[in-house]
Amino acid sequence: MKKIIAILFVVLCLTGCNGQEEAEQVLWVVTEKSNSDGMNLQAEIIAERMEEAYPGLTVNLEILPTDDAERELRLNHLRVEIMSGNGPDIYLLPTGNVLTYDRGGSLARKMLTETIEPLFSDATQAMYNGVFLDVSGYYDADQNIRKDLLKTEVMDAGTLGEARYILPLRYNQSVLLTGKPQQENRSIMELVSAALEQENVNMTIGLQMPDSLELLPEIFDYETGNLLISVEEITAYMRLYQQWFAVSQPETAELLDELELAKFLLVPKQYQYEWAYPDLNLGSFNSMSDYFAYELYWDLLDITMYTCNLSDTLQSAAIAKVIDHDLYMYPLQTTDGKTVAEVTYYGAVGSSCAHPELAYEFISQMLSEKFQWEIYRPRGDRKNDRIAMQNYREPQCPGLVESSFPVLAHGAVPGLWDILQYQGKGYLSDTSPGGTKRSLQFQGDFCLEDSDIPAVAFPIDEVRFPVYFPEDESLSYALSQLNNEDGTPTDADIDALAQSVYQSLWWHLAEG
Amino acid sequence: MKKQTLSQRNAREGVALILPLVLGCGVFYLVPFLMVLRNSVYSGIANSRQFVGLSNYSAMLGNSVFRLAFGNTLKFLAVALPLILVISFAIALVLKEHARQHETLKSVLLLPYIMPVAATVLLVDVLFAETGILNQGLYTLGLPIADWLHSDLAFWVVLALYLWKNTGYGVILLLSGLVTISDDHYAAAQLDGATRWQQLRYITIPQMWYSVFFTAVFSLINAFKCFREIFLIGGTHPDTSIYMLQHFLNNAFDKLSYAKLAVASVLLFLVLSILFALTYRWVMKKEAYKQ
């Protein structure tokens, strides 16, 4: 009798466990809030498909909170979960610490940026610390991804030796745009120094020195735990930045003020005080919406060189084509003459994932042509543009261009242009004379091909994951100490500030 | 049924009484420590874990930030512990004569210890900030001012803070040891013509080793608790002179570096255990005459 009961008990346990296992297949996806780039929407679409394809599978999409206090609590909790081996199955995260999305709700769209503390301050470091699972087996066997179209250098940033831990999804790199051909590729330091030496104000305005580590030489050697950059290199960058800022800031402010006034006067009187117009900024010189509205474009303002990122080159190429101006693209090199790209969005399988094959399948769908080129993003009814623009949930807000480029880079341009073209249709033309005419020039048979954006084919020497530093330890904070808002240099000691930045880099590498 | 002897019954009751404590310590201290010990020889987390032997340890010993943190922590302990013991002992000796008359004074001594951390940090800021009272005073006197919290001086500020906050507690602990020494010993010594110094050296100190040891252990615990104040004063990365091991552990946790966290914890445990064992052995020797 005892034996029979024992056997029954074991059988019940086993069948119970089996049934439970099937019902309990859960994929926990952690991601950040997004509107303009449509990543949340795409993740939702993939989640729905996966649940349909695998009965019994539940995909829990967790969007991390952006409220500071709530976020800190959640991040702490997540870190404990990760360290204890119970972390998320999938990470679908942007790099950096700024989330950009539209606030919506009015005809004039307002971009909202929120500064957040990322879950991983350094994705490379997290990779070294074993937070992610090696998916090289799945990736190598995957026949669905068009690997021939992928930007190989960027994809390889997610590998350590033979193991592949991260699947980069989007990337960016700095590009130099000129109206005339250049003799050679030059570093940001050489270009800015030349502009300052020649006292070429327009060139100084167009060359925007980043206040991040983006164009500095390679910084971290994660293998040995040594810093590759020296204090002297940081000091030299900061010194030049101060000189550049002192010239560029007042001139840029003056130019923008002039343009603001001109823009205001362009608007019919009945609208002048009715609508809130977004302020102009340096990005306006290369924005299709500002070209439609005010005929703004850097080359039309006699700015001889203009720095932007890879995704912005689409707009520049389109405007240059319409106004029949020559456009040349060069990689904007780091201070030591290298071409660097940064991963801006990535997916990774958590090291504690119980269903790595499903998790990989989820992320790999993000690498398919349709997701990479965002063909899945729904399109509203453009017959009534005003209503479409007021719809907060509509992910394709006119004028919102994705901030980075898909890793399925080769062949991406026509698809991305199709989106920009669609977004351009939403342009409201009754606020500026000639706006409709200009916007219509971009519609119809107008098309951009890969050959229009040579920047996509630039060879890349190094690919990085941007590293997050608390505000008071960042390079941007140190640089903000050097100048007043009007560009006047302060008495801040550059050497001391460079030393503090170096120290922050040192802490970061040694503690992680 | 076999009849139990009294000693057997006592032993069983003893085991029963101590069992919850042993279980609690086992579950909440021993098992986690063994897990940390195991993780210190692995890299990665969960399914990405790989055995790497002692390479985490060799990497950690070559890590300059860890060495800085470890060095600062040991330096702080090496300076703070003897200092707090000497000061507390001196105050306790002074108070001993009037121990029963100054109950209020004893309570006052404990005030800094029970003061909320936020208030303590506010006090430090008021005193030592760049525009704080101290610098204002120095400036008024025409003396050079200093950046007390962001230079090497920060170490001494933190030391002063530790002493101010914890000396009273040490005094109370030592005082409780001093009052247990029988007055007869001192009376006999006085009859033999012993000086105050001789009484201290040959009567008081030999009988105080247990109390001193006990106070040292608590002062050590309080020294580690002092991290809260240091953290609130200097944040995650204070001046290098006050970058302690807890900063390293805290920041390594934020960066999900389990290996570094585990190795640093084990190394700290080892060093403290060795120090504790040596001190305990020394105190045992000193106290051996009582056996």
Determine contact: A473 vs chain B, CB below 8 A: yes
- Residues of A within 8 A of B254 (CB-CB) are 79, 121
Determine contact: A351 vs chain B, CB below 8 A: yes
Q: Which of A351, A473, A511 sits opposite B255 (nearest CB)?
A: A511
| For A223, nearest residue in chain B (alpha carbons) | B59
Q: Do B45 and A473 touch (CB under 8 A)?
A: no
Q: Do the beta carbons of residue A290 and residue A280 sit within 8 Å?
A: yes
How confident is the model at residue A294, as a pLDDT? 81
How confident is the model at residue A18, as a pLDDT? 47
| For A133, nearest residue in chain B (alpha carbons) | B48
**DSSP code of A489?**
B
How confident is the model at residue A398, as a pLDDT? 47
**Ranges of chain B whose pLDDT falls below 50:** none
Which are the contacts of B174, defined by CB distance < 8 A and separation ≥ 6? B88, B89, B92, B208, B211, B212, B215
pLDDT band at A399 (very low <50, low <70, confident <90, very high): very low
How confident is the model at residue A15, as a pLDDT? 45
What is each CA distance from A413 to A365, A464, B218, in whole angstroms? 20, 23, 68
Q: What is the mean pLDDT of residues A406-419?
A: 90
Question: pLDDT tens, B27-46?
Answer: 999 999 999 999 999 999 98
- Residues of B within 8 A of A125 (CB-CB) are 255, 257
How confident is the model at residue A139, as a pLDDT? 96
Question: pLDDT tens, A93-110?
Answer: 999 888 877 665 444 456
How confident is the model at residue A266, as a pLDDT? 65
Concatenated DSSP letters of B174-231: HHHHHTTS-HHHHHHHHHTT--HHHHIIIIIHHHHHHHHHHHHHHHHHHHHHTHHHHH
Burial class (CB in 10 A: 0-12, 13-18, 19+), B272: middle
Could you tell me the end-to-end alpha-carbon distance of chain B, in angstroms, rounded to an integer?
40
How confident is the model at residue B137, as a pLDDT? 93
pLDDT band at A36 (very low <50, low <70, confident <90, very high): low
- pLDDT of A392 strictly over 60: no
Crossing angle, helix B64-96 and helix B153-178, to 10 degrees? Answer: 40
Q: For residue B234, is it left (φ>0), alpha (ψ between -120 and 50) or beta?
A: alpha
Quick check: helix, strand or coil at residue A329? strand
How confident is the model at residue A14, as a pLDDT? 47
Determine contact: A243 vs chain B, CB below 8 A: no
How confident is the model at residue B291, as a pLDDT? 66
Q: Do the beta carbons of residue A495 and residue A235 sit within 8 Å?
A: yes
- pLDDT of A418 strictly over 90: no
| For B62, nearest residue in chain A (alpha carbons) | A225
- Residues of A within 8 A of B235 (CB-CB) are 472
Pick the more confident residue, A44 or A7: A44
How confident is the model at residue A37, as a pLDDT? 59
What percentage of residues in chain A have a pLDDT greater than 70? Answer: 82
Q: Is the pTM of this model over 0.80?
A: yes
Q: How far is CA A121 from the centre of its chain?
A: 15
